[in-house]
């Protein structure tokens, strides 16, 4: 195995490990913590929930409700007491734990009023307490256990490739997107990267329609189907991409437009705070040849009908391009993003 690169000193708020997830969950008093499943490797997958949406009982699934042209038969959000639901998921890929850090600090903030660095984010806390919030801070604990350190800030692009996507049997880097040429990848690898659970499954690309899916993916789809979130995000790290969000492939145009509106609001706040953020234009990748994949956010969207997006964080690699965030900018991009997403839905439903 490649030598394990050392972590640079990390800020007090930088919480990304399996143990730190457990520690944050121990703080939860105002919400509920449920172990929803065990991962393929036998590690617990936890869900944290604050509040309730007050959705009335449904009479149809999404497909049937839309077929009837009555989406309210699936999720009737017209009641005066309806509270929007925001669903956030961290660490779908084990080497992409920037969002997990933000989510664990959000839990700390809701429970104690300060984050792990002792900083207050009163506006975020006030908004977060008004929504129905569902968090799965680490949906791929197996993948996280394949990463033997706690930050990619200051590490090399090759470190990311080795530890996140892993290596083939001959020791060469599996790479991206080539690592997706084998699924499950386990029989083909020497080093099983953070991308994958212990069975070598990349949760972004499972056999969603009628096939066997991993427990982590099941946990995510369960929430989308049962809780009908107004907005769902999978936090990813995108090497040194400028922080951005990718809308839902094979998603309804309406959901893509909503995503674009939110992105512009996030961008405005990031600009004001000196944090780099990129607005991605509304996509129509389905028209490409070959077409784009139907991936986990696509599957989520077809359970609940609302925007289900990928957030791509910058990971602070030292040698990959010119956009290099430090821990503070990575953290700030997530805190601003979470604040604006929650604000958007509270406004949409007339709650603020």
46, β-bridge pairs: 35
**Pick 96 or 206: Cβ nearer Zn ion:** 96
Cα dihedral 297, 19, 96, 334, rounded to 10, equals 80
Q: Which residue in the block uniquely carries the two structure tokens 């869900």? A: 47
Q: Does residue 146 interact with Zn ion by CB under 5 A? A: no
| Burial state string for 258-280 with b = 16 or more CB within 10 A and e = fewer than 16 | bbbebbebbbebbeeeebbbebe
Candidates 15, 144, 236, 256; binder of Zn ion (CB under 5 A) is 236
What track of x and - describes contact with Zn ion for positions 156 through 195 (by CB under 5 A)?
----------------------------------------
Measured from the CB of residue 316, what is the shortest distance to Zn ion in angstroms? 15
Q: Which residues contact 108 (CB under 8 A, 6 or more apart)?
A: 24, 27, 114, 115, 116
Q: Does residue 144 interact with Zn ion by CB under 5 A? A: no
Give the Cα separation of 35 and 38 in Å (integer): 8
Contact 110, 132 (CB under 8 A): no
Measured from the CB of residue 16, what is the shortest distance to Zn ion in angstroms? 15
Q: Does residue 93 interact with Zn ion by CB under 5 A? A: yes
Piece in contact with Zn ion (CB under 5 A), picked from 27-35, 116-124, 228-236, 277-285:
228-236
| Burial state string for 228-256 with b = 16 or more CB within 10 A and e = fewer than 16 | bbbbbbbbbbbbbbbbbbbbbbbbeeebb
Measured from the CB of residue 246, what is the shortest distance to Zn ion in angstroms? 10
With CA atoms as reference, report the closest residue to 52 among 108, 133, 127, 110: 133
Measured from the CB of residue 65, what is the shortest distance to Zn ion in angstroms? 31
Piece in contact with Zn ion (CB under 5 A), picked from 42-50, 92-100, 134-142, 205-213:
92-100
Measured from the CB of residue 231, what is the shortest distance to Zn ion in angstroms? 19
Total binding residues toward Zn ion, as defined by CB under 5 A: 3
Piece in contact with Zn ion (CB under 5 A), picked from 45-53, 154-162, 236-244, 293-301:
236-244
Piece in contact with Zn ion (CB under 5 A), picked from 163-171, 210-218, 230-238, 275-283:
230-238
**Pick 107 or 246: Cβ nearer Zn ion:** 246
Q: Which residues contact 201 (CB under 8 A, 6 or more apart)?
A: 40, 183, 184, 214
**Pick 96 or 340: Cβ nearer Zn ion:** 96
**Whole-number Cα distances in Å, 172 to 166, 176, 177, 220, 307:** 9, 12, 14, 32, 37
Measured from the CB of residue 119, what is the shortest distance to Zn ion in angstroms? 27
**Pick 168 or 176: Cβ nearer Zn ion:** 176
Piece in contact with Zn ion (CB under 5 A), picked from 65-73, 86-94, 97-105, 151-159:
86-94
Piece in contact with Zn ion (CB under 5 A), picked from 60-68, 87-95, 287-295, 338-346:
87-95
Measured from the CB of residue 19, what is the shortest distance to Zn ion in angstroms? 22
Q: Which residues contact 37 (CB under 8 A, 6 or more apart)?
A: 44, 45, 215, 216, 218, 219
The residues binding Zn ion (CB under 5 A) are: 93, 96, 236
């Amino acid at each position: 195995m490649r030598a394990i690169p050392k972590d640079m000193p990390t800020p007090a708020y930088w919480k990304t490990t399996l143990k730190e997830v457990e520690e944050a969950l121990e703080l939860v008093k105002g919400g509920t913590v449920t172990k929803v499943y065990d991962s393929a490797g036998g590690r617990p997958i936890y869900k944290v929930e604050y509040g309730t949406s007050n959705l009335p009982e449904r009479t149809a699934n999404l497909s049937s409700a839309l077929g009837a042209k009555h989406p309210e038969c699936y999720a009737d959000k017209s009641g005066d007491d309806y509270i929007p639901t925001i669903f956030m998921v961290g660490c779908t890929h084990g080497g992409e734990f920037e969002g997990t850090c933000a989510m664990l600090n959000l839990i700390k903030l809701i429970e104690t009023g300060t984050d792990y660095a002792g900083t207050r984010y009163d506006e975020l806390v006030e908004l977060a307490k008004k929504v129905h919030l569902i968090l799965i801070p680490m949906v791929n604990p197996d993948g996280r256990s394949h990463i033997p350190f706690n930050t990619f800030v200051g590490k090399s692009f090759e470190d990311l490739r080795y530890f996140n996507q892993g290596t083939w049997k001959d020791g060469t880097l599996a790479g991206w997107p080539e690592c997706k040429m084998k699924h499950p990848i386990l029989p083909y690898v020497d080093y099983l990267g953070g991308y994958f659970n212990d069975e070598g499954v990349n949760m972004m690309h499972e056999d969603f329609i009628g096939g066997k899916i991993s427990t982590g993916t099941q946990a995510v789809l369960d929430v989308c189907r049962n809780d009908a979130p107004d907005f769902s995000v999978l936090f990813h790290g995108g090497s040194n991409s400028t922080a951005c969000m990718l809308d839902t492939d094979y998603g309804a145009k309406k959901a893509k437009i909503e995503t674009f509106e939110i992105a512009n609001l996030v961008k405005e706040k990031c600009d004001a705070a000196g944090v780099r953020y990129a607005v991605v234009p509304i996509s129509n990748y389905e028209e490409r040849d070959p077409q784009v994949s139907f991936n986990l956010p696509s599957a989520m969207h077809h359970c609940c009908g609302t925007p289900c997006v990928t957030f791509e964080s910058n990971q602070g690699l030292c040698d990959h391009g010119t956009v290099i965030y430090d821990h503070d900018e990575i953290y700030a991009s997530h805190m601003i993003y979470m604040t604006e997403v929650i604000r958007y839905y509270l406004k949409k439903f007339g709650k603020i």
